Structure 1
Amino acid sequence: MQFTETELKGVWLIEPTPTIDDRGSFTRVFCEKEMADCGLATRFVQHSRSHSVRKGTLRGLHFQEQPYTEVKLVSCVRGAVFDVVVDLRPNSPTRNRWLGFELTPANMKQVYIPEGFAHGLQTLTDDAEVSYMISQFYTPHAAKGVRYNDPVFSINWPLMPTAMSDRDKSWPLLRKLVH
């Protein structure tokens, strides 16, 4: 596995390295020791999946408030997605900056998202499925979000949204968020 820390400190791109032979391939997608060697969380208490029917579906930008902040390890297991992380850490030199990653089953890339980041994604294909390893139990009263099109972030989403939840459409702009 290759671990690359991004310009947003704490966000890592993890690229599994498959072993390929005439039978096919074998790929390790999680290794507690290798993650710990990079200083990454290795305890995940939930494994969730989201399935989106339509290309252009937008989910996010989500996070959980303290003391329920969470680390996520995200990958795409079907279709393709544009995965976005936004730095919301109060004292971070990269506060309000974002990064986007194309995740597909073929590229096997995973995004490690530390506490203090909002997360969202947009499907680039119909019938897309995303896997989330999550370090904290889902806590409904701590579940928060910020608007996907907040001008503070100016995220360059690849497509016009074709489907979104009412909740995701109604998240506040960052300037109205108290957390």
Structure 2
Amino acid sequence: MDLITGTWGNKHNVFDNDVKSPNYHYKNIFRLLKEQEPQKEIGIFSTWLDNRLKLVGEGLPQAGQIIFDYKFDGYELNQSAYQHDLADYYIHRIDERVTNETATCIRTAAPDLSWVYLQYTDDVAHHFGDSEQFNQSVISLDNQIGRMWEAIEYRQNHFHEDWLIIITTDHGRDPTTGREHGHQSDRE
């Protein structure tokens, strides 16, 4: 939640994935945009529903009752399409779907502000730490970002739009194994 509000957990009250009581007093970037320019369109593309429903608080009065115009998320709940496995490879398949839906939506609808969350590199790092598996997951992520970038270039070339893309991780890794979160370490 730090990234979308510009504040630390001691203010927005989210410290981990167990989002119990977020403080929506600190407005997120989607709420700020919609309050200033309600006609602007917003999109979210994610493995989890929690990014939309808990972190942003879609539809909640205390979170500004914002509604995403484009939403592609919650695939981790569809276990018939994405059968869960011990190595979390199903998350890679979900990230592929999220990537494809993001690229298609950018080409056809071009939301004014979007959040794309790809999870597989995080899962691989937790399982394998600093490893060849992690390196391969980063290469895969780079390819996924490349496909979304191609959609952005399409918009820039065909519609003369000016786009900004920000790529970041949601946390770093511990300095010893790379398996755990680092908590303000030099490595991060």
Q: Same fold (TM over 0.5)?
A: no
Higher Rg of the two aligned structures: 2
More helix by share: 2
Normalising by structure 2, report the TM-score.
Answer: 0.26
More strand by share: 1
Normalising by structure 1, report the TM-score.
Answer: 0.26
